[in-house]
Structure 1
Amino acid sequence: MSPSTRLQVSQSQVFRMGHVISVLQLSGEELDEHLLQTAQSNPLLVVRRRRQTAIRAGSAHDLIDSTFADRPTSLYDHVLRELAGLAGRGAAMERLILALVEELEPSGWLGRPVPQIAETLGLSVQLVESALDLVQRRVSPAGIFARDLRDCLRLQLEDQGLWDDAAGRVLAHLEVLGTGGAEALERATGLDAATIATRLHRLRRLDPKPGSQFATDLTLMREADVRIEARGDGWVPIFRTSFETVVAVPPGASGDSSPEMRRALGEARALKQALDLRQGALKQIVQVMIEVQGAFFRDGPEALQPLTQAMIAAKTGFHLSTVSRVLNGLLIEGPNGIIPARTLCARRSALCSTDGPSKPKVLARLRALLLAECASHPLSDVQLSDALRAEGLAVSRRVVARYRHELGFAPASQRRLRA
């Protein structure tokens, strides 16, 4: 094989890989737009749009109005709901909390350093720091109200019970990784290679911008990419692009023509191949999520089981990055409304064993217990922990206290006084 031939093959492979990656990252709606735009400039790419199937039970707006009316509509709405009990402690505390909320960036981080916030409020830095530490422990997901990236990652590691001295050293010298690699990080921290690798693996699984998930709320107004329907005792996924858009390369097209036509034919075939790969990956990944979280579509968040993207990757055989790209912006419509697909990736409850319950399930049951308790004899955190344990949800008293704060419920002694 000549050098020129090898170069041509390499360029072709890179071209196809670029198509696959870009197509994997598109939502169903974005994919339709991309296909139509490409077809306008490529005479060998034919896009046929089939008649759309109407959304059952009214429009997407009806579904949102009926099922999401009591859910937060933005990052600020979310944190204000979770801090409602804390803000009710007095005018001074409410003023301080509202000031911190106003400083939030869409990423979930604070937009200004604490000293500047304290100066604006005319308060001491120590007081604002204390209030900030309090709201950081109160709001979920962990990492919201972080001072910076290091603070954001630290909060998430602490929430998962993974914070230790080694993690602190790695975070303190994280910038060294970008300039000198893992070896430079070893020298800066004094840690061995295995410890560095373990801590970096944990950091890569964290969300550096936990507030960004609330910035996608408006996408729930568009049509879902996948619709889940009940069939017999199970669930069947219906993929929007599978019945709405079809791509076909004309069989009579030939590459024995001008360079422009050969380039157009290569682009059309590469795009069709990327679409086939995308559809195959999407079907397998969604099928795994349905198998694990089938009860969610019937019983709601309380039935969510622990499921991570790494688990999906292991079950499907796809790389973790492929799973992440497929789930990015993917919307699923089921009996309980339209949700981001990542909602089904529920992590385990904090400090639980590897076979412990998912956090959404624990939160749902804890909320139900708190709402059903006798006002004059509220349940203590120990009693709540025992009640959850009796239901097969083994969580410690400390975790119950943390989740109770996240749900906006005061300790039992304060709830008793308000009765």
Structure 2
Amino acid sequence: MKPGLQFRLHQQLTLTPQLQQAIRLLQLSQLELEAELRQIAESNPLLEFAEDAEAEEADDTEFEAPEFVARDEPTAKAKKDEEPASASSEDVAPEWDDERTHSDSGDYAGAPSRNGSTDDDGFEPQNAAPENLQQHLEWQLNLSQFNPRDAAIATAIIHALDEDGYLHEGIEAVAAALPAGLNASNDEIDAVRQRVQRFDPTGVASLNLKDCLLAQLLQFAPDVPQRDLAIRIVGEDLELLARNDIAKIARRMRAGEDETATAAALIRSLDPRPGAALDATPVEYVAPDVYARRDNGRWHVSLNADAQPRLGLNQHYCNLIARARGDDATWMKGQLQEARWLLKSLQSRAETLQKVAEVIVRRQSAFLDYGPEAMHPLVLREVAEEVGMHESTISRVTTRKYLHTPRGTFELKHFFSSGVATEDGGSASATAIQAMLRKLITAEDPRRPLSDQALAEELHRRGIQVARRTVAKYREALRIPSSSERTRAG
């Protein structure tokens, strides 16, 4: 049997370049979008930013044609110079020596700065970059009396520290990082490590919490009240101290409870994370993309006009298209079409952001009115169905886009939360449950903190069905210690 012709029908989604561009712009943050559009505008002369166009118009307005004079006719300034000087020297503006101050690029390198002082390099002073932990320790190392061998070991130790200032990788990791040919024993490395521990902040380069606290306690003068008792407690009963069992610690230390309490207070004044104070992570400032305002009892959503790119067509080049011929005309028409596609994609991005923000604000109006405990469960699918878009589109438009409300500025993803069933057949969001847990723990008796099981039972009494392990998961997400670790003096 000869094979015959077969016909098959199938559907295939093809993303046009224009659709790909629209999707890409949708997922960009405000800063990324600005950078992307700047790059596109540089390669397409048919596009321009509004501020650039305004700057060009201002330059054209401020430009004045030079005044030409005959070579043998003295200028007004020359005539003035020929007149007798009647003004005092303070009233005469100083003249610049062109040969001495004029640079090849046309800039005045020695011109006075705005504060009246002269900057040798012509640049205004800039703020220095924040100093991180390693830089701070290396600066002290360079000022300390270390021989070259010990300095190399100390440098390896400093570069092995984590963000909290600990040497969690141990002595062996430092030995492996030493320069070739520098064979140091573990004891030698540990001796240098103990010297680094005395740098500022005290306690860096410690192997564990006990080591860190002991290093800080040893820096106190011997006459500090209960210093020696605090050293014994850290060395022997740090676990009991975490549970704040002062009575048992006093019995084991054979000391009075008042003395033990003083020693415990001294230990709590120490810094368990000495390196964190020198975290050089830059602070990120967020400009909201959308605003939510309450007016006449209703919430209204508006885009931040300052956050929307002011991109448009360059009318000068658009007018040149009609006069262009040949390949130039074809190229410019193609650039014009791409510019129009881009502007349409930006308009679509703004409209999508507006629609999604309106749905979120409407669904989470209780949160805006009453706070986190009133947050409703919300998933991407619900918003997608309401605005008639795919869930992936909602995910893109809510990533790194921020909503400013009277309660603060939040990423749009903050308003999405899974739900937990309640006794009345409804559901409570995970965000609301976390807010309830934080409120319960804040109001608990410090001497008898609530366990995870007790918190789960309290939520049951409020009609929220949640398991103990779920409470533990939410508590850990809030970075709240367990009940045994929260024990503290009343």
3-state SS of 2:50 partner: strand
Task: Report deviation, 1:354.
Answer: 9.5
Q: Is the 8 A contact 1:224 1:240 kept in 2?
A: yes
Partner of 1:25: 27
Report the equivalent of 1:274. Answer: 345
1:232 is aligned to 2:234? no
Amino acid at match of 2:18: R
Distance 2:448 2:307 in 1: 56
2:365 is aligned to 294
Instruction: Give the residue type in structure 2 aligned to 1:321.
Output: S
TM-score normalised by the chain length of structure 1: 0.51
Distance in 2 between residues matched to 1:253 and 1:296, nearest whole Å: 54
Write the deviation string for residues 345-386 of structure 1: whole angstroms up to 9, x where unpaired.
223359999953111211111111111122344444444223
The 5 A counterparts of 1:12-411 are 14-49=16-51, 102=162, 220-241=284-305, 244-249=308-313, 258-349=329-420, 355-409=426-480
Deviation (angstroms), 1:333: 1.9
Check whether the contact 1:313–1:323 (CA below 8 A) recurs between aligned residues: yes
Deviations 1:69-96, CA, capped at 9 Å, x for gaps: xxxxxxxxxxxxxxxxxxxxxxxxxxxx
- Verify the 8 A CA contact 1:226 1:238 in the aligned structure 2: yes
What's the CA shift for 1:247? 3.8
**Residue identity in the other structure for 1:43:** P
Q: Which structure 2 residue ranges, 5 or more long, are not aligned?
A: 1-13, 55-160, 175-185, 187-280
Structure 1 residues 118 and 312, CA, compared in 2 at 3 Å: closer, same or farther? farther
CA distances 1:36-67 after superposition (whole Å, capped 9, x unpaired):
4433432333432599xxxxxxxxxxxxxxxx
How many residue pairs end up in the alignment?
Answer: 257
Matches of 1:230 and 1:320, distance apart in 2: 28
1:32–1:360 distance in 2 versus 1, CA, 3 Å:
same
Name the CA distance, whole Å, in 1 between partners of 2:49 and 2:40.
9
Runs of 5+ consecutive residues of structure 1 not aligned to the other structure? 1-11, 52-100, 105-115, 123-216
Answer whether contact 2:287 2:307 (CA < 8 A) is retained. Answer: no
Deviation at 1:271, TM superposition (A): 0.4
Structure 2 counterpart of 1:201: none
**Other structure's SS at 2:427 match:** coil
Using the size of structure 2 for normalisation, the TM-score is 0.44
1:310 Cα offset (Å): 2.4
In structure 2, distance between residues paired with 1:120 and 1:34: 43
Question: Which residue is equivalent to 2:71?
Answer: none
Give the CA RMSD over aligned residues.
4.3
Write the distance in 2 (CA, Å) between the matches of 1:335 and 1:298. 9
**How far off its partner does 1:220 sit?**
4.4
Whether the 8 Å contact between 2:419 and 2:428 is mirrored in structure 1 is yes
In terms of mean alpha carbon deviation, does 21-30 or 236-245 score higher? 236-245
Decide which structure has greater helix share.
1
What is aligned with 1:194? none
> Secondary structure at the residue paired with 1:357?
strand
Match of 2:465, SS? Answer: coil
Contact 2:403 2:412 in 1 (8 A): yes
1:119-168 C-alpha deviation (Å, 9 max, x unpaired): 8699xxxxxxxxxxxxxxxxxxxxxxxxxxxxxxxxxxxxxxxxxxxxxx
Following the alignment from structure 1 to structure 2, what is the Cα–Cα distance between the partners of residues 305 and 406?
A: 19
1:292 Cα offset (Å): 1.4
8 A Cα contact 2:420 2:464, kept in partner: no
**Counterpart in the other structure of 1:177:** none
Shift of 1:296: 2.6
Aligned to 1:161: none
Residue deviations 1:9-33 (CA, integer Å, cap 9, x gap): xxx9722112212211222333334
C-alpha distance in structure 1 between counterparts of 2:17 and 2:460, whole Å: 54
1:246/1:354 CA distance change after superposition, 3 Å:
farther
Residue 54 of structure 1 is matched in structure 2 by none
Deviations 1:146-203 (A, max 9, x none): xxxxxxxxxxxxxxxxxxxxxxxxxxxxxxxxxxxxxxxxxxxxxxxxxxxxxxxxxx
Structure 2 CA distance for aligned equivalents of residues 23 and 376 of structure 1: 54
Q: Deviations over 1:260-295 (max 9, x none)?
A: 111111111110111121112111111111111223
Distance 1:119 1:350 in 2: 51
Instruction: Give the conservation status (yes or no) of the 8 Å contact 1:350–1:359.
Output: no
